[in-house]
Structure 1
Amino acid sequence: MTDIHFIVEESPEGGYVARAVGQDIFTEADSLPELHTLVRDAVRCHFDEGQAPSLIRLHITREEVLAA
């Protein structure tokens, strides 16, 4: 595996939630810099040594609601 993808959403309570696509990896943080650190840590913990992907891709989504 060369890369892993995460879907990142803003949490209703504040901060961010990240879920890996195709893997059972989940983490949350109060800021994007903190999320970067926690996602890296979660990936390292999830995979055996030498099996972790070399790239982590974050797809950051944000929902906006507009009055019609």
Structure 2
Amino acid sequence: MTFVAMELNFDVHEEDGMLVAVCQDPDMATHGRTLEELIQMVKELIQCHFDEGDARRTAKARLHFHEESILAYS
């Protein structure tokens, strides 16, 4: 039997002073004021979103941070 490591991918961006984490598959999102709070909220989201016994409850969460870049042209 082969064990396949499962990951849930979250795109993280800043919005109105909050860090927002959005997972597209499955569709779910959360937010936090600090990185530490965001990490805790992602953990809680995963536990609440999936039923007990669902392997995704123990999946790794990968956070992808996106920063908005402003380009100046002269």
Q: TM-score, normalised by structure 1?
A: 0.87
Q: What is the total number of aligned residue pairs between the two structures?
A: 67
Provide the identity percentage. Answer: 36
Aligned equivalent of 1:24: 27
| Unmatched tracts of structure 2, length 5 or more | none
Deviation, structure 1 residue 30: 0.8
What CA deviation, in whole Å up to 9, does each residue of 1:2-33 have, x standing for no partner?
1110011111x102111112112111111111
| Unmatched tracts of structure 1, length 5 or more | none
- 1:33 paired with 2:33, answer no
Structure exhibiting the larger radius of gyration computed from Cα positions: 2
CA RMSD of aligned residues (A): 1.4
Aligned equivalent of 1:61: 66
Write out the 4+ residue segments of structure 1 that deviate beyond 2 Å after TM superposition.
none
